[in-house]
Structure 1
Amino acid sequence: MSSTHATTAPGALQIVKNLLREVLCSRVYDVARETPLETAPKMSARLQREILFKREDLQPVFSFKLRGAYNKIAQLSAAEKAAGVITASAGNHAQGVAYSAQKLGIRAIIVMPATTPEIKVQAVRARGAEVILHGDNFSDAQSHCFQLVEQSGMVFIPPFDDPLVIAGQGTVGAEILRQRGTGLEAIFVPVGGGGLIAGVAAYLKSIVPEIRIIGVEPFEADAMFQSLAAGERVILPQVGIFADGVAVKQVGEHTFALCQHYVDEIVRVSNDEICAAIKDIFDETRSIMEPAGALALAGLKRKAGEDPGQGGAWVALLSGANMNFDRLGFIAERAELGEAREALFAVTIPETPGAFRDFCAAIGQRVVTEFNYRLHRRDRAHIFVGVAIRNREDAENLLQHLRNTGHAALDLSQDEMAKLHIRHMVGGHAREAQNERIYRFEFPERPGALMEFLEKLGGHWNISLFHYRNNGVDLGRVLAGFEVPDSDLPQFKSMLSKVGYSHVSESGNPAYRFFLDNARAD
């Protein structure tokens, strides 16, 4: 979505007039630090242009939000400070307000959505602020906060739609210009309510108008994109909360007017692309961003695939690093899909001995990331498989190759239900399985190891169950079921010993007996 650079709305001209002075006279450095603007060598080499990271994750509260919050609170009157401050926030603004209030000795109440990551809730409480959890998103929390303002007489500290807050965030733009005065082509900025991009854009465009300011939003929380397209502020009926720091139903009045005038474009990205950007930043810096913190890089990468640009440096503003540890599993799982480094397929093969191995031969030496299969019927088998790829074109070529080798195959890489749920649900009781023996195996993890494992097993006994997942460790772990009559047991066990891989019989495992054993298929 490209901005039309519309005429500035009433009231916004005065903000613009005062903004440079407010930024230059800001009080943010009482508490905030000037964060580094770092070269990202791996990303630069990959995208064939200079990529810089503005490291706002290195602030004392691990987010840029401290700037605007402190700049606003520090300039309250004595009477206002005595009344105390209150705000609504998805987390990072809350920490900024709590930190600022503690620094200035002011009482603070923070209303946060009940969905806020616990790490942010605890961080706010650790700063001495009172936390009230209310609603499922920022808008719900804000509505409740306004009720409390009326009841308490405390001073509301806006998270984004306030001239002093915008000016405080605008100091990020001033730093970028001071740290790299020439050769800047584009700045990518995450967008929630719009305070950060409004401050950065208005400041930079007032001094170096040729710099492109590009906002980035998730597809499921794109209030600024839709507002700019409509020419007025829209209210989203609902927002996704994966990137909770930007989960805003409506952007600010001041911020919208400034974005209309100064922002060149809004790029939207998927959650998978955000996960991939988190991984990219970790690979580059060994730091872990929260989803909103990696949003700018996700947009930068998408834009790089569409627009070669003019050769100047591109800056990704890394806005925050407050993330619960327990979200890392989901992010790691989805990062490869977001980077188009993994493809998911549903494949049908004949239910005959050796067909499983033939299918793996069709995949070849590619790295298999996931393999789920359960015997269902005797004539054919359905497999859910993940495969490492180089790009989407590579996935399309593999899909065609599978079909050319006689396998009915379907690409599920863009299927949200498959990615979220189905991959974990392949299985169940196998009514057709006979004399099933369950074994758990471990083998050295390397390219081709899975195929080597299957070659060693041979094709004499039908495989009735197979589950494998690449967990990024040095050992591959497989759970496999074999149909082995009692008369074949000595030969089967001899084969297992010759395979040479660590293995444990799990046929008596209670979890297997309850969920997978055909004896319970009733």
Structure 2
Amino acid sequence: MTRILSAPVYDVAIETPLQAAPALSAALGNQVLLKREDLQPVFSFKLRGAYTRLSRLSPEQRAAGVIAASAGNHAQGLALAAQKLGVKCQVVMPVTTPDVKIEGVRSRGGEVILHGDAFPQALAHALNLAETHGYTFVPPFDDPDVIAGQGTVAMEMLRQHQGRLDAIFVPVGGGSLIAGVAAYVKYLRPDVRIIGVEPHDSNCLQQALAAGEPVVLPEVGLFADGVAVARIGEHNFELCQHLVDEVITVSADEICAAIKDVYDETRAICEPAGALAVAGLKRYVARDGCRGEVLVAINSGANINFSRLRHVAERAALGEGREALLAVTLEERPGSLREFCEVLGKRQITEFNYRCQARENGQIFLGVQTDPALAPRAALLTQLAEHGYPVLDMTDNELAKLHLRHTVGGRAPVGLQERLYRLTFPERPGALGAFLNALEPRLNITLFHYRNHGADAGRVLLGLEVGDGCDAQAIDQLLSDCGCPFTDESDNPAYRLFIG
């Protein structure tokens, strides 16, 4: 407690707001508050612990220079702390570290050494360099001063909210944040539950608590790189073992959904580790059905590469149960796609991949918007089964989500005569079905690819069989009559090379 109260974090850090989340609160039936550590100067809480540790080094240790190992956020905090105190700083980072974090260190005067695929390899290399060259090693999490610095987050929260408080959700990597928060909160408010949140594939604290001692995970998931730690810190475990009430684990899809939740509330974008607490809070409410409680989630960081947002956006709908991915078998005949869309009705289609491969049956890779409360996935599966469509639910199939949705298709059957068109139509529920209804039943669709990109116009790649009096000129006229702008891609060399 004394270490936390005396931590000099405000030399470089700010007191971040404890912000109400009205949309989440309404959706979950509880009062949700977000501790905005993503607003720190280095966009992460890690600045608190790094500066506290560095400020308490002896003059001799500072003169020797400091070195650390980090997946990114501790590195940026240490670089800024070292810059503030005039100390030479080196950081060993895994080669998988996002560029935004690497540049964050360099922009603050720190030297970056990339080594290893994950944190354990980076840590071993940093310790070796410290011993060889006499640098002072600054731990990223397993240190009393680092824990004290992170504990100032709890000091602020209890000062900012002095009324009812039922639970605080804390992201867990090496454990310094949850150890510091638990130590402070449990001393003053032992009634408040401290709940750690980890990814399913990086649950080092959960496994340590189950084993009664720290354990080494054989491998860790890298999606939430800020918490990709194989072993909980010794000092942190000693505190967590007695002060943490439970640990919840969440999937990558749930993390993506939580990133969207935070964006909807704040217009700020969390990194995956930064949104862990919100994902755990949502799972906790869904599991226990609690209502009317006051729940706090710590948004721990916002250091995410812009290029990763594409993946986050794609998986967010799956994480919140608002999209189903299905493989549906149809008869291979003119009109079958149109009939299938009539069964779907006004449901919003998010993805539609189809390629003619045989003359009997065809398979569609289908994405459909769902609603956990009003139109759940189970109801959709039942509806399709009642209409005689064989369906494979791939919503939880990682292979399908990561790879198959981008590789379905292939070449047309030998001898098939087709024309290929790229077209657009207004993006609204039912638009796809309306378009298919406008095509004459005698037209056989041989290829159909569509993905919802959140724009106001849907983009479709369409293949149509030529023959039996249906020539290219007739197809062009029919598409013109549909009122959808289109481009004939039949002579495109890429089409001939890959799918023609």
With the shorter chain as reference, the TM-score category is: over 0.9
Distance (Å, rounded) in 2 between the aligned partners of 1:82 and 1:75: 13
2:109 corresponds to: 128
Number of residue equivalences: 498
- Asked if structure 1 preserves the Cα contact closer than 8 Å seen for 2:30 and 2:291, the reply is no
Q: In the alignment, is residue 328 of structure 1 matched against residue 315 of structure 2?
A: no
Aligned to 2:487: 504
Contact 1:378 1:432 in 2 (8 A): no
Asked if 1:300 corresponds to 2:281, the answer is yes
CA contact (8 A) 1:272 1:335 kept: yes
Q: Is 1:377–1:432's contact at 8 Å kept on the other side of the alignment? A: no
Report the 3-state secondary structure (helix = DSSP H, G, I; strand = E; otherwise coil) of the residue aligned with 2:347. coil
State the distance in 2 between where 1:405 and 1:432 align: 32
Superposed CA deviations along residues 359-388 of structure 1, whole A, max 9, x for unmatched, are: 111111000000000001000110000000
Contact 1:347/1:383 (8 A) holds in 2: yes
**C-alpha separation in 1, matches of 2:107 and 2:474:** 64
Once residues 311 and 364 of structure 1 are traced to their aligned partners in structure 2, the CA distance between those partners, rounded to angstroms, is 37
| Match among 438, 441, 450 for residue 468 of structure 1 | 450
Residue 371 of structure 2 corresponds to residue 390 of structure 1: yes
2:43 is aligned with 1:28: no
Query: What's the % identity of the aligned pairs?
Result: 58
1:456 aligns with 2:438: yes
Between the aligned partners of 1:127 and 1:491, the Cα distance in structure 2 is: 64
Aligned to 1:428: 410
Name the CA distance, whole Å, in 1 between partners of 2:407 and 2:441: 26
Of 143, 152, 158, 2:133 maps to 152
Aligned to 1:440: 422
1:399 Cα offset (Å) = 0.8
Q: Quick check: 455-464 or 41-50, which moved more?
A: 455-464
- Residue 182 of structure 1 deviates from its aligned partner by 1.6
CA apart distance, 1:320: 0.1
1:76-117 CA distances to partner (integer Å, 9 max, x unpaired)?
111111011100000000000000000100000100000000
Counterpart position of 2:335: 354
Could you tell me how far 1:511 is from its partner in structure 2? 1.1
Correspondence for 2:68: 87
Answer yes or no: is 1:371 the counterpart of 2:352.
yes
Partner of 1:7: none
> Which residue of 2 is the match for residue 114 of structure 1?
95
1:149-228 mapped onto 2 (5 Å cutoff): 149-228=130-209
DSSP 3-state at the match of 1:488: coil
Counterpart residue number, 1:283? 264
* TM-score where L is the length of structure 2: 0.98
One-letter amino acid of the counterpart of residue 120, structure 2 = S
- Corresponding position of 1:75: 56
Measure the CA separation in 1 of the matches of 2:476 and 2:75: 61
Q: In 2, Cα distance between the equivalents of 1:83 and 1:95?
A: 20
1:492 corresponds to: 475
Secondary structure of the structure 2 residue equivalent to 1:249: coil
Q: 1:195 to 1:271 in 2, by over 3 A?
A: same
Structure-2 residue corresponding to 1:263: 244
SS at match of 1:224: helix
Shift in Å at residue 355 of structure 1? Answer: 0.6
- Between the aligned partners of 1:486 and 1:286, the Cα distance in structure 2 is 55
Question: Cα deviations across residues 311-360 of structure 1 (Å, max 9, x unaligned)?
Answer: 33100100000000000010000000000000000000100100111111
Residues 1:515 and 2:498 are matched in the alignment: yes
The separation in 1 between residues aligned to 2:68 and 2:478, in whole angstroms, is 67
Residues of 1 paired with 2:493 and 2:355: CA distance? 18
Question: 2:389 pairs with 398, 402, 407, which one?
Answer: 407
User: What displacement does 1:491 show?
Assistant: 2.7
Number of the residue aligned with 1:12? none
Are the aligned partners of 1:64 and 1:169 in contact in 2 as well (CA < 8 Å)? Answer: yes
Residues 375 and 432, structure 1, Cα contact 8 Å, conserved in 2? no
Aligned-residue offset at 1:455: 1.0
Q: How far has the Cα of 1:308 moved from its partner?
A: 3.1
Letter matched to residue 334 of structure 1: R
CA RMSD of the aligned region, Å? 1.0
Give the unaligned 5+ runs of structure 2.
none
Q: TM-score, normalised by structure 1?
A: 0.94
